Structures are given as C-alpha cells and as structure tokens.
C-alpha cells in the first residue's frame, strides 16, 4: 500500500521552485514508486532451489501453497513436491520458506516468522515426508525454532530455542537437548550473538559432519559484554499496547569499540554417546571464529579464526571426536584487514578448499589441499574477482563473477584448464549466477542502467533455456524518469567513478541545484551499471541534479584503492567527495551555490564528515542514522578498519564528526529510528547535544520504534519526502 501523501507533515517547497519540472511527463511517477519499486507490477528474481541431483529445481508457487519440481533441461514442471492442501496429519496456511533435505526425501517448512535482529528470525517449523505426505511439527516441546539444519542423511534436524540446541530424530520422533546452559544475555549456543550476525553475516553456528555422527557448534559467552538498553514506546506503527503508559526496554549485549567481545569456543556433540566435547584451536590466541565448515572426510571440519584486529586469519583442521586441531592456512594483511569474503565464501571441494585472498593487490581465488598445500592460483589479473561459483569437474571449468570489464560492471565468465576466459554475460552490466550441483546449469540475473532485470536459466555454456517473466512493462513505467549516466572525475591523480542524473527537461543556460549521493563504506559500491529506479531519478524529475560518487575506500578497485582509509575512516573519503563535488559543480548546468549531500548509516556519517570539513561546499546536509563517533559503534566492524581506541586514539579523534562541529557549515537535517539496534540513537543525540552547547540547532525527524532501516508502515517514504522538502527550502 502506498503512503497517502495528503498526510505529509511538511510542504514540498521544492515543488514551488520547480514547477516546470513537475509539469513534465515524469510527473506520472510518484515518490513511492522509487522508494518502493517492488510495489510495481514486476517480475522479481525467481526463488529457485536447485535440487541435489543437479538436474532439477524447485520453486514455491506465488500463493505460497505449493513447492513445484521442474526439469532443468526443459524448464518444464514434472512434479509437485508439496501441496499444503494435500498433506496428512497437519495443515498450514502458507509456506514462508523451505529447505530440502540433502537426500531429497523431506522438506523443512517455515511459517509464522518472528524477527529477532537484522538477519535472524524464529518460526514454527514443520517437516514434510514427500513419499507419505505426512506434515509433522518439528518440535512438540518448543513452539518456535531458530536456524534448523538437516543432517546429511536427512534423518535428523538440529535447531535452537532460547539459546540452547536440540536435535530431533525424525525416524523416531524423539528430541534430545544438546546444551542446557543457554541463558539470555549470558550464553548462546548454535546461533550467533548480535555482533556476529551483523558484522560476519552469520545466522547459524552449527554444522554436521558428513558421516552424521557429530554436530559441531559455537558457544558465545556474552557475560562480560556490556548491556545496551533501548526504549520501546507504544507507537502508532504496529502499536505496543503494553507500553502505552510506561516504555518498555530492548536489552541486549552490544560491545562498542574497545570493549569486551563474547568469548567464543568450539564444541562437538557425539550423536551416539550424547557427550559434548570442548575443542581448543591452536594456543587459543584468537578473538573471532567467523565460520566453521564441514569437509568431505567425515572425521574433519575446518574452523576459521581471526585476531582482534582482523588482519590475521588462520584456518584449523579439526577432528571433532579427538578434539585435535592443526593449523593449515594463514593469511595476513599487516597494514589493513582481511576481507570478509575470504571466510564467508570459502568453498569446500572433494579433495581441496578454495579461498580468496588479496595478496596480489586484487581479490583472487586459490586452491589448497586439506593439508594446507597450495595447489594452484585459479584466477589472476589486475581486477577483482568478486565471486567464484564453483568447478565443473567433467569439463574442467571454473566459473566466476568479476570486475574484468570495469569496476562498475559484474561479468559471469568461465575459465578452462588452460586459463582461457570466456564471458558468459554481457561485458557491460551487472550479472550474477547461482549454479546447480554438478555445475551443469545456472540461473543468471542481469540488468544494466538501461535494462530492467532479467532472470534466465542457462546451461553451463551460457545457452538460454528459459527466461522467467517479462519486465518490459516494469521498465516502461519508469521510462519517463531521467536516466543515470556513468562517468568519472579525476581527483589528485585518482580516477573516481561517478553516476550522474541530470534534471528533467533541462533548459539551455539554466543552472540547477546539485545533490551528492554516497555511502562510501569500506568495500562498498554505489556506482554500478545496474537497474536502479531509485530516489535519485525521482529527485531529478523534480529539478535536481544528483551525482553518486564512490571515493577511495570503496570496492571493486583493488586493495590499494580500498586501503587508503585504514585507521583514518572518513578523512580520505571526505577529501575525495569534496574534490569531486567541486569538479561536478563546474559543469555549466550546475549551480555551485546550491549543493547538498545525503547519506544513510555509513553514508550519514560520511555526509557529516564532509559537512564538518573546513572546505565544505555543501549548503545543506541530510544524515540518516549516522555514526558520529566510532567509539559508539560495535567492535567487529569498527576495529576491522580502525583498530581499537586504545591502539589508535588519534585516529578515532580525527575520524569523529562530533569533534568537528566547529567547522559545520550549511543547514543540517538528521533522522533516525528510536529502536535502531545497529547505529544507536545516542550517535545523533550526542552530536545534537554538542551542537546545542555551541548555539547550533539542526532540524530533526525521529521515527518512534523504527530500526536502522526505518521500513515499518512504509515510513521510509517519509524520509525521502522530508529530504526533498529540506533541500527545496535550503537550496
């Protein structure tokens, strides 16, 4: 449902200033169309799950009632795996998500999801036996379960409830507790704490050994981590009636930079003996265990560790029964950090593992034996390989996604045994691929600035089998909006990628206000050759020029470009953004006296760093949910790029907008949600408090009970409407 713009709290002053733009053809497009493009009739990426045989795939029907099986070769329907109107024993209303057992005999179905943090949720789970059509509750003892995983033989499911791990033996319907020491804000078993979920992208910390004999898991001891409290109000968006008179509290463990992290330990549980064992990795001199992986050999797993600075990664081969571990791989980045992709995308092969490293200056992939011997470097070149999809053993071909056709593009390519590279997707545009087991087929997602997304099932050689849906009408809906254009600017000998959206119906000789859009976080990219019908195009339809800039520190350009920000976040980026803005402001259609800057999260932080620079050209700044001092943000993210405050006191001082308020120029609008468990409201409140002590008063908009994304009740549109009004008044 679209937000009714008659209920806006603010009058769009920009509309009065830019009548000619609003009379253009693009006036048919509303702001909500660009804030919520998913609300438009379009074909989104199909939820394909390739099945273990590598020859078939499954899809959930649009009504969420059936899981249908298709043949990869023809894309034709061949069977219905599950129909919720044709089950025995239990009934459910809808399938929210599902996973098939490795042996293909059962389906795990999720209903009634309940969010926990950013990525995690619990739900009511059922397992479905395909042959018997029996639909059974995963647990009779636990109403909601979290992160359930099948054993390799499909006969058991491990899950978490209330910080403890349980195993359901499906053949017998029995359930056993693996752990009993779980306690809120103290001990977590099998699922990550807040920091690991947010900064290491993990939602499950359990794995089975391939022989089904052992469950390995991580235990998070949060006892020494400081408690953080956020107020919960009744609110009008999904009201909390229990807090109508007195606010409630969200209390959770959140370690800010320099404070204690959870103490992490690795454990194994023997299915037969029902005994837990604690596993020591090396001499225990690690801070993080971001991932554990099974290996094809049933008696070993891999455990990845990081030091606190996250510039040394070590991988251990572990026997979970004997608890003996040995170091098999080390990668170091003494003057920077280990990129998270290295441990997040490690690939397990029958006789080896494949891991990424930036040791050459660019991100490439290397193959190692399980004894730790380097077998080969798989990819090479002066560009980043952003993903390795796998290896087709029959054809001796690897498949990768890379920046080989420029940092703004993503190309799917094959690499044969001689190292010859063949592009399977267009050189220009953004493509990604999900491959089937055995690597015979893949689903390609592709778009560019001028082409709406397409989703095509292809053979491994790139031959199209089926294109899902048609986004022609979707693209036509946005066709009247000004189009983004890719370009570059030179700043002190460095080329920066930029994306320009010129105002609609530009008049010769007229100068237009300019908005700078950026995120700027380490390794991120905003300037990409992909379809984005976002707010920048809508603002251009209202008479603004919008320029998106990727400064040094961002991704896709190799390590030297990215490492320029190490231990001094915000400074190099601000210098680049300001210099690039001045170059763009010199265009003959830009008004250099009417320039604004916007950012959200890290982008909000960077907007404040720019606005508090002594040479700031910005007349108006919008910062949404910004960090204002890295001492307020979590350990894992902050220390990866800044080390600890104890190690880098001067870096923290100079990288904090809160210490630069004397230089603040122009008008400032700050927005945030009161229930932001990621970038806490204290960041904005402390910044405003410092401003008030200096007789300075920003404009603010606060969203009660909203989190970092401000996406409840379609309130996100209010963020951009308020921004449009603010720029209209102040530029």
List of domains in the chain: 8-42+474-730 (3.40.50.1820)
d(CA 218, CA 207): 10
pLDDT beyond 50 at 165: yes
pLDDT at 5: 33
What DSSP designation does 634 have? B
pLDDT at 442 > cutoff 70: yes
- Residue 564 pLDDT exceeds 70: yes
Question: Which pLDDT does position 7 carry in this prediction?
Answer: 33
Q: What's the rounded Cα separation, in Å, for the pair 203 and 7?
A: 39
Instruction: Return d(Cα 79, Cα 595) in angstroms, integer.
Output: 58
User: Does the pLDDT value for residue 122 go beyond 60?
Assistant: yes
What is the helix (H) or strand (E) element at residue 473, kind and residue range?
Answer: helix 472-477
Q: Are strands 347-348 and 484-491 parallel, antiparallel or unpaired?
A: unpaired
C-alpha–C-alpha distance, residues 29 and 250, integer Å: 39
CA distance 469 to 445: 12
What pLDDT is recorded for position 38? 73
CA-to-CA distance for 26 and 542, rounded, in angstroms?
9
Query: What confidence score (pLDDT) does residue 1 get?
Result: 36
Judge contact between 609 and 574, C-beta under 8 A: yes
- Count Cα atoms within 13 angstroms, Cβ side, for 155: 8
Of 421, 415, 416, 457, nearest to 436 by C-alpha is 457
Mean pLDDT of 480-507: 97
Would you place residue 635 in the very low, low, confident or very high pLDDT band (cuts 50, 70, 90)? very high
Please, which contacts does 355-358 make with residues 24 or more away whose CB atoms are closer than 8 Å? 355/315, 355/329, 355/331, 356/385, 356/388, 357/331, 358/333, 358/558, 358/559
| Arithmetic mean of pLDDT, 256-272 | 98
Q: 593 by DSSP, 3-state: which?
A: strand
Residue 110 has pLDDT above 70, yes or no: yes
Q: Which residues pair with 700 in a beta bridge?
A: 670
CA pair distance 703, 218, nearest whole angstrom: 36
Report the distance separating Cα 407 and Cα 527, nearest Å.
9
CA distance 382 to 616: 34
Residue labelled with tokens 């053949």:
171
CB contact at 8 A, 624 and 648: no
Q: Comparing C-alpha atoms, which of 102, 329, 305, 349 is closest to residue 211? A: 102
Average pLDDT for residues 148-169, to the nearest whole number? 98
27-71 pLDDT, tens digit per residue, is 489 999 999 887 776 777 888 999 999 999 999 999 999 999 999
Can you tell me the distance from the alpha carbon of 285 to that of 669, in angstroms, rounded to the nearest whole number?
45
Q: How far is Cα 202 from Cα 216, in angstroms, rounded to an integer?
A: 15
State residue 603's pLDDT score.
99
pLDDT reported for residue 23: 34
Task: Find out whether 712 and 232 touch, Cβ atoms under 8 Å.
Answer: no
For residues 483 and 449, the answer to whether their CB atoms sit within 8 Å is yes
* Stronger pLDDT, 43 or 363, i.e. the higher one: 363
Positive or negative, the CA dihedral 453, 459, 463, 465 is negative
Residue whose structure tokens are 């989104």: 44
pTM for this model (two decimals)? 0.94
Residue 325: pLDDT band (50, 70, 90) is very high
Q: For residue 729, is pLDDT > 80?
A: yes
pLDDT of residue 37: 81
Mean pLDDT of the chain: 94
Mean pLDDT calculated for residue range 542-566: 98
Q: Are 351 and 334 in contact (CB under 8 A)?
A: no
**Which pLDDT score is estimated for 633?**
99
pLDDT in tens, 609-626: 999 999 999 999 999 999
Give the mean pLDDT of 84-111.
95
pLDDT at 18 over 90: no
pLDDT in tens, 271-293: 999 999 999 999 989 999 999 99
Average pLDDT over residues 462-468: 95
DSSP string for 529-540:
SS----HHHHHH
Tell me the percentage of the chain whose pLDDT exceeds 90: 92
For residue 16, is pLDDT > 70?
A: no
Where residue 504 falls among pLDDT bands split at 50, 70, 90?
very high
3-state secondary structure of 598: strand
């Amino acid at each position: 449902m679209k937000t009714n713009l008659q209920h806006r709290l603010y009058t769009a002053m920009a509309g009065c200033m830019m009548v000619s733009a609003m009379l253009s053809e693009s006036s048919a497009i509303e702001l909500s169309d660009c804030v919520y493009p998913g609300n438009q009739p379009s074909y989104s990426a199909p939820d394909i799950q390739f099945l273990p045989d590598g020859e078939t795939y499954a899809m959930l029907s649009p009504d969420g009632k059936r899981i249908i099986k298709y043949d990869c070769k023809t894309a034709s329907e061949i069977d219905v795996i599950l129909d919720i109107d044709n089950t025995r024993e239990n009934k459910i209303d809808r399938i929210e998500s599902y996973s098939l057992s490795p042996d293909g005999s059962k389906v795990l179905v999720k209903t009634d999801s309940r969010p926990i943090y950013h990525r995690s949720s619990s739900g009511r789970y059922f397992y479905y036996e395909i042959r018997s059509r029996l639909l059974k509750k995963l647990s009779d003892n636990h109403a909601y379960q979290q992160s359930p995983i099948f054993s390799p033989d499909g006969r058991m499911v491990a899950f978490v409830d209330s910080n403890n791990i349980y195993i359901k033996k499906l053949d017998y319907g029995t359930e056993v507790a693996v752990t009993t020491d779980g306690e809120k804000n103290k001990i977590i078993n099998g699922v990550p704490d807040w920091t690991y979920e947010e900064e290491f992208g993990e939602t499950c910390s359990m794995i089975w050994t391939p022989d089904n004999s052992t469950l390995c898991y991580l235990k998070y001891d949060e006892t020494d981590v400081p408690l953080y409290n956020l107020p919960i109000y009744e609110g009008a968006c999904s009201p909390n009636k229990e807090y109508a008179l007195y606010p409630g509290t969200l209390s959770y463990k959140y370690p800010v930079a320099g404070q204690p992290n959870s103490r992490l330990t690795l454990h194994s549980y023997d299915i037969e003996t029902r005994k837990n064992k604690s596993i020591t990795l090396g001499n225990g001199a690690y801070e993080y265990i971001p991932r554990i992986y099974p290996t094809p050999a049933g008696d070993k797993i891999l455990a990845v560790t990081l030091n606190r600075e996250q510039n040394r990664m070590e991988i251990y081969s572990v026997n979970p029964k004997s608890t003996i571990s040995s170091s098999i791989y080390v990668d170091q980045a003494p003057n920077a950090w280990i990129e998270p992709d290295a441990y997040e995308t490690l690939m397990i092969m029958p006789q080896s593992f494949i891991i990424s490293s930036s040791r050459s200056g660019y991100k490439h992939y290397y193959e190692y034996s399980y004894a730790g011997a380097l077998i080969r470097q798989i990819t090479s070149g002066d560009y980043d390989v952003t993903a390795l999809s796998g290896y087709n053993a029959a054809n001796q071909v690897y498949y990768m996604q890379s920046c080989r056709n420029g940092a703004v593009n993503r190309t799917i390519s094959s690499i044969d045994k001689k190292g010859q590279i063949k592009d399977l997707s267009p050189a220009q545009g953004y493509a990604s691929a999900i491959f089937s087991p055995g690597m015979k087929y893949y689903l390609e997602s592709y778009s560019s600035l001028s082409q709406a997304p397409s989703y095509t099932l292809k053979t491994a050689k790139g031959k199209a089998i089926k294109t899902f849906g048609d986004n022609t009408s979707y693209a036509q809906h946005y066709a009247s909006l000004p189009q983004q254009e890719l370009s570059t600017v030179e700043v002190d000998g460095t080329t920066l990628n930029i994306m320009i959206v010129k105002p609609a119906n530009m008049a010769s000789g007229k100068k237009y206000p300019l908005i700078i859009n950026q995120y700027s976080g380490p390794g991120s990219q905003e300037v990409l050759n992909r379809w984005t019908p976002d707010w920048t195009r809508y603002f251009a339809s209202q008479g603004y020029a919008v320029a998106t800039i990727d400064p040094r520190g961002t991704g896709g350009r190799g390590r030297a470009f990215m490492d320029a920000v190490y231990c001094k976040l915000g400074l190099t980026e601000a210098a680049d953004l300001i210099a690039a803005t001045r170059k763009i402001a010199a265009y003959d259609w830009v008004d250099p006296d009417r320039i604004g800057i916007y950012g959200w999260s890290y982008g909000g932080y960077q907007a404040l760093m720019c606005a508090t620079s002594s040479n700031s050209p910005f007349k108006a700044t919008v910062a949404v949910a910004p960090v204002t001092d890295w001492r307020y943000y979590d350990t894992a993210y902050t220390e990866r790029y800044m080390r600890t405050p104890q190690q880098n006191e001067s870096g923290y001082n100079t990288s904090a907008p809160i210490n630069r308020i004397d230089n603040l120029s122009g008008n400032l609008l700050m927005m945030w949600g009161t229930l932001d468990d990621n970038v806490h409201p204290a960041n904005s409140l402390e910044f405003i408090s410092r401003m008030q002590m200096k007789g300075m008063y920003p404009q603010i908009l606060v969203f009660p009970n909203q989190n970092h994304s401000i996406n409840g009740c379609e309130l996100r549109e209010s963020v951009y409407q308020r921004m449009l009004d603010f720029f209209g008044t102040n530029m």
